[in-house]
Structure 1
Amino acid sequence: MSLYTYVVRYDSGFAPNPFYGFCTLATCKPKIRRYAKVGDWLLGSGSGDKKIGRAGYLVYAMRVSEALSFDEYDVDPRFRQKKPYRTGSRKQSCGDSIYFRKISPGPWSQRDSFHSLPDGSANPKHIGRDTSVNRVLVSDHFIYFGGTGPSVPTSLKDELGRRIVHSSVGQSRFDDAHLLEEFECWVRSLGDMGYRGPPYEWLHLRRSNVTT
């Protein structure tokens, strides 16, 4: 079992998407999406940007329960509500089921989403990066605090003394069994799993065309 950690630079409810009973990572972080296995943990911590000031705070933690291709994710009825509806609620607007193909194999299409261009048309840059790894990580065992998460204990370090959270950009993988045991104990100490608080951007940003 491994623990993958990184900074959630934009905590909007899009990546990760913690809604409708599953936490999913369907875009961004191609290296993590490529290598994380079922049973591995992901931890996303807050941004250290001066305007945000959430470095070292937990955004979410999820244990990978399955990995799907974009094609599988697109047609799975469990994730129908994760298709974005940009003029709906905030939860609907940030849907991450955005990639599909009319014919497989074939070119990827992109739904109007957080990774589209401002006019809603497809963004080739994001298509190229996101689909470079045809893999969606899914978790039914997660805890998501968004912009209200607790500080990650400084005692959570590996045998080399590396803390599991980053102060700025970056990502790491930890395989130390003792560290992973301590990490899981800490996560369990936080209480009930699931969605616990809204994304940071919901708390601090307002969008005139999106309702709560």
Structure 2
Amino acid sequence: MKYYSYVIPRDYGFAPNPYFGYCTLATCKPRIRKSAQKGDWIAAYGASNTKLCKKLIMLMRVGEILTFDEYWDDIRFTNKRPVFNRGMFCAYGDNIYHHIDGNWMQEPSHHSMVDGSINNANLETDTKVDRVLVATEYYYFGNNAIEIPREFNALIGSGRNHRVHTDINIIDELINFVSENYVMGIHGIPYSRVNGAFAHYRGEK
């Protein structure tokens, strides 16, 4: 078992996407999506330029790994396809990639252009790794991100690159801390949704 930690500078409920009973990581973080295996834990922390710096935004245990086409075709995840007339949690659906006649299709979404056309920068980054991480065991805190005890500081993500931890004892202690104090599921809303307007991410670094 491994524990991957990273910083999330923008949180719209898109990556990760905690809705409809599954927490999914289907876009961004290609290196984590490439390496993580079933049973591994992934944690996202607030970035240094946010009021949630070093606080735990999301914690998920990988339970399933799908290709983009498998994710698109699976009826369980139809609700994660972006829809723009059912509220923000539907508009930020992350089920956006699949093949048509052998070519990648990117659905109108947070990662497309404003007019719904393909954003090639995001498509290239996201599809670099054809893997979607799926969890039913997860905690999503969003704007109610929590502080974790100091003894777990080594597990907090920082900087642009993710960290990988393999010390099972400290990983288990952190998981126990969270599970003893919170029930699994959603505990907040995405902290980047400040004005209710839908946002597109152009792929800026």
TM-score bucket (shorter structure): over 0.9
Q: Partners in 2 of 1:88 and 1:117 — Cα distance?
A: 20
| Counterpart amino acid of residue 142 in structure 2 | G
Q: Partners in 1 of 2:112 and 2:64 — Cα distance?
A: 26
Aligned ranges for residues 110-121 of structure 1 at < 5 Å?
Answer: 110-121=106-117
Structure 2 match to 1:160: none
Structure 2 match to 1:134: 130
Structure 1 match to 2:36: 36
1:67-93 deviation line (CA, Å, top 9, x unaligned): 000010000000000000134310110
- Deviation larger for 56-65 or 188-197: 188-197
How far 1:147 sits from its partner (Å)?
Answer: 1.1
Structure 1 match to 2:47: 47
Aligned ranges for residues 93-112 of structure 1 at < 5 Å?
Answer: 93-103=91-101, 106-112=102-108
Structure 2 match to 1:179: 170
Seen in structure 2, the aligned counterparts of structure 1 residues 101 and 167 have a Cα distance that, compared at 3 Å, is closer
Aligned ranges for residues 58-73 of structure 1 at < 5 Å?
Answer: 58-73=56-71
Residue 43 of structure 1: SS of its match in structure 2? Answer: strand
Match of 2:183 among 186, 189, 192: 192
Equivalent residue pairs, number: 199
Structure 1 match to 2:5: 5
Residue 166 (structure 2) pairs with residue 170 (structure 1):
no
Structure 1 runs (4+) greater than 6 angstroms displaced: none
1:120-151 deviation line (CA, Å, top 9, x unaligned): 11001111110010000000000101011111
Q: Percent same amino acid at aligned positions?
A: 38
1:95-141 deviation line (CA, Å, top 9, x unaligned): 000001123xx110000001001221100111111001000000000
Residue 80 (structure 2) pairs with residue 82 (structure 1):
yes
Q: Partners in 2 of 1:75 and 1:97 — Cα distance?
A: 10
1:43-87 deviation line (CA, Å, top 9, x unaligned): 0011211xx221111101000000000010000000000000134
Q: Partners in 1 of 2:53 and 2:166 — Cα distance?
A: 23
Q: Is the 8 A contact 2:30 2:126 kept in 1?
A: yes
Q: Is the 8 A contact 1:86 1:112 kept in 2?
A: no
| Counterpart amino acid of residue 39 in structure 2 | G
Unpaired stretches in structure 2, ≥5 consecutive residues:
200-205
Q: Is the 8 A contact 1:55 1:166 kept in 2?
A: no
Give the TM-score normalised by the residue count of structure 2.
Answer: 0.92
Structure 1 match to 2:196: 206
Give the TM-score normalised by the residue count of structure 1.
Answer: 0.90
The CA RMSD over aligned residues, in Å, is 1.5
Structure 2 match to 1:92: 90
How far 1:205 sits from its partner (Å)?
Answer: 3.1
